[in-house]
Chain A
Amino acid sequence: QKEVEQNSGPLSVPEGAIASLNCTYSDRGSQSFFWYRQYSGKSPELIMSIYSNGDKEDGRFTAQLNKASQYVSLLIRDSQPSDSATYLCAVDGGSNYKLTFGKGTLLTVNP
């Protein structure tokens, strides 16, 4: 069974710090990786997608992918209280083309 593992948290960081969110996956055939942000009571919002090894930056967000280690991470620089949310890691299923979600990490940014 394909698995996506995330630290459930909560992860608490002070305002202005770097928040680091981690995700590991079990299917070596996976090629596509996504980070979603979900505020309490709202729907998931796609914030980053990454397909190749290395870093991908978008504003304050950086996604990092290491396929050899089956590891994907999301860094949030200059964290703001508005970043407080649950972050879901999602991975394509390889041969099974479903999207598999991790259980999410709750991030709290303290003013």
Chain B
Amino acid sequence: DTEVTQTPKHLVMGMTNKKSLKCEQHMGHRAMYWYKQKAKKPPELMFVYSYEKLSINESVPSRFSPECPNSSLLNLHLHALQPEDSALYLCASSQGAGGTYEQYFGPGTRLTVT
């Protein structure tokens, strides 16, 4: 069973749309992450939430807006995206925040911006 779930699996949106990606972890972890991954590239960190507070924002454009309603849920609100934002968006969780902890990824949301 996948302990980090993401919805939707696929999303196609226009540049004027507003949509949200959702992530839920069932591992009791206290840190959650959003990554963006382009084809044949490694994941790029976007945001880190620790104990439901934003602790890292990797200078991501404001058209991406994260939200952490509770320690198990993480959302990424999307607005006025550009075609170059098309990518695989990955959610991950870990016991604590930072690179010393094992991070477990969800299956991802494949986003296409038209």
Contacts and interface: CB of A to CB of B under 8 A. Distances in A.
A49 B56 CA distance: 23
Contacts of A101: 42-43
Nearest to A2: B99
Contacts of A44: 43, 90, 105
Nearest to B42: A101
A43 B42 contact: no
Interface in B31-66: 41-43, 45, 56
Contacts of A31: 100
Interface string B69-104: 000000000000000000010100000011111111
A45 interface: yes
A102 B42 CA distance: 7
B99 A100 contact: yes
Given A88-B42, A99-B45, A102-B42, A43 B107 contact: yes
Interface in A54-105: 88, 90-93, 96-104
Contacts of B104: 46
A38 B45 CA distance: 17
Contacts of B97: 97
Give the residue among A88, A97, A98, A100 with the most B Cβ atoms within 10 A.
A97
A45 B106 CA distance: 9
Interface of A: 30-32, 34, 36, 42-46, 49, 88, 90-93, 96-104
